[in-house]
Amino acid sequence: MTFLFWLFMLLLVAAAVVGGLWGYRVYMTGDTSVPWGGWFAARPEPRLSVSEQASVDSRRKLVLVRRDDVEHLIMTGGPVDVVIETNIAAPRAALPAAAEPIEPAAPVFTRQPRSFGQAVNE
């Protein structure tokens, strides 16, 4: 009997917590819908990334930022952040050059392969 009482109380507290979190979300965003689809949907591909960064001195850094296939070079850390160069075309993946055919490497094992019967009868 006491087990059922405590189980009921646990479920009641869990429901109160879920209701409180949903009420907080409604209060902060004004959206009363239940966002089940947002939890399991595929995330969109990020549009912004840091391609490279290099230290200029102890305080300043050069940062190459990529946004939608366009890169921007920015210097940060000084008294003012400065955009050094903008609208740099992002490098495309290099296509392999059609060069001379590569000769295969010499085999590691030089003896001829044996059948199963030959290996057992030795």
Cα angle 74, 76, 80 (rounded to 5 degrees) comes to: 105
**Four-residue CA torsion sign, 31, 32, 36, 37:** negative
Structure tokens at 96: 């392999």
pLDDT digits (tens, 9 = 90+) for 77-121: 888 899 998 888 766 665 555 567 778 777 776 777 676 666 555
Any idea which residue has 């305080």 for tokens? 59
pLDDT digits (tens, 9 = 90+) for 32-71: 777 666 666 677 788 899 989 999 998 999 999 998 888 9
Residue type, 28: M
**Strand 82-89 to 70-76 pairing:** antiparallel
> pLDDT at residue 122 above 60?
no
Query: For residue 27, what pLDDT is reported?
Result: 86
Query: For residue 101, what pLDDT is reported?
Result: 73
Q: What distance in Å separates the CA atoms of residue 19 and residue 35, rounded to the nearest whole number?
A: 14
Query: For residue 86, what pLDDT is reported?
Result: 87
